[in-house]
Amino acid sequence: MCDIISSTFTKRHSDRAWPLPATKWSMRMNWHDLLFAHWRVEVSALRGLIPPGLDIDTYDGSAWIGIVPFRMTGVAPRHLPSLPFISSFPELNVRTYVSIDGKPGVWFFCLEASNRIAVRAARKLFYLPYMDAKIEMRNHGELGVGKWIEYSSNRTHRGEQAAKFEADYRPIGPAFQPDPGSLEQFLTSRYCLYTANANNEIFRGEIDHDPWELREAQAIIKENTMTEWLGIDLPDEPPLLHYAKRTDALAWTIKRT
């Protein structure tokens, strides 16, 4: 089954700008009901939070910070089945966009999840700043006009500062794939992540999935303290909002850059 999944993923259309890794993927997962909420920020607001050696990517002179709530299913290593209560859970990430040697990727300031096993595995194996959180996500039937997702995340990780995100969101408008060179493509078409260990040694993790099918979105953000612990004040202007219903993704083991 897993080899069939691999073939399906690697033979599809993709807008990635470099070839797939020669090695086999190590993890598979499905992402559902994503809200991409993005704010413009000054590069100077992020520089002290990003390890040396990583370039902060900008679009029209601005850096961007994103908050992305969604739901994960089917999370499992290669050749192993998904397991109930382990492979499915809601998640939220806070991110910006960086590159090394012209290869664009995502830098995560934090990834909140309600699955303690996944949190500890990701911190150990991928050096990712996963944190425990109490997350509730309610989907009121098949999404469409008038249908909302209710989402609430409250960080509970021991020793970490409190942070909370609560919002209702929904898709509006028709689905579209981002145009080449557009802001939407800049923010979402990223096929690797960057992370660092305790010595600030930088690692790259390759990701692959179909090109995003985005829709414009509406959101009522009731509470958002997800950047306060970083010392980042988000601008008063409304965020840029997009929704994606689902994508299936593969991830490779991280490699030192």
Which pLDDT belongs to residue 16?
A: 87
What pLDDT shows up at residue 82? 82
Q: What's the pLDDT score for residue 143?
A: 54
The CATH number of the domain covering residues in 27-256: 2.40.400.10
Cα(217)–Cα(208) distance, rounded to whole angstroms? 24
Looking at the chain, the number of H-run helices and the number of E-run strands are 4, 13
Looking at residue 2, what is its pLDDT?
41
Tell me if 90 sits within 8 A of 137, measured CB to CB: yes
Query: For 112-144, b where at least 16 C-beta lie within 10 A, e where not — what string?
Result: bbbbeebbebbeeebbbbbbbbebebeeeeebe
**CA gap 225, 232 in Å, rounded:** 10
Structure confidence at residue 144 (pLDDT):
54
Q: Which stretches of the chain drop beneath a pLDDT of 70?
A: 1-14, 140-146
CA atoms within a 13 Å half-sphere pointing along the CA-CB vector of 53 = 12
Domain chopping of the chain, boundaries? 27-256
